[in-house]
Amino acid sequence: LNTKTASSSNESLVTATATGKATGTLLIEGVSQLATSATAVGTPQVPVTSSTKLSSLFNGNMPSEIELGSINAQGELGERVKITIDENTTISQFISKVNSSNAGVSAIFENGQLSITAKNTGRLANGDSAIQMNDAAKNVFGELGITKVNEGQNASFKVNGIETERSSNAFSINGYNVTLKATFN
């Protein structure tokens, strides 16, 4: 039997485990940036609470459905999902609908502010936003104060002399499962 092993000289920076498919030597020589998630924070124009009805933010033309999606674990755009709302939907209920959907986005409403964050890290290779919304969703999130998404970033590192990147801080390469924990040279 050929047992494969992996070790880290500093497990607070990088950890690795070898699978049965591990080949050769893998040397992580530096991590210039860790992967982060796309996020957006907004404050509505008018004071609201979690029990405020979304319809109170609109002048009678509130959408009944939005589409929302985000980057998936493979670093690609996932499918947008439809989320239904009506004139009785409160901000708290809307947050719950977003969080229980398969949109790949988590939302929180705290101290009069809304925050949305992609559940997966990284950025899309084509430059599109890692959090995708149709016009109706942009309208709803805009009323809740979100006008711009701060894009996530890919992990950038050097492995065996090659500069490369991944959309996640945990990935497999040449049969090794690697987790990047901090930046270093």
Q: Per-residue pLDDT tens for 53-83?
A: 999 999 888 999 999 999 999 899 999 999 9
Other beta carbons within 10 Å of 44:
18
Q: Per-residue pLDDT tens for 39-56?
A: 999 999 999 999 999 999
User: With b meaning 16 or more CB within 10 Å and e meaning fewer, what string describes 8-34?
Assistant: eeeeebbbbbbeeebeeebebeebeeb
Residues in the chain, pLDDT under 50: none
3 state SS of 35: coil
Greatest Cα-to-Cα distance within the chain, rounded to the nearest angstrom: 71
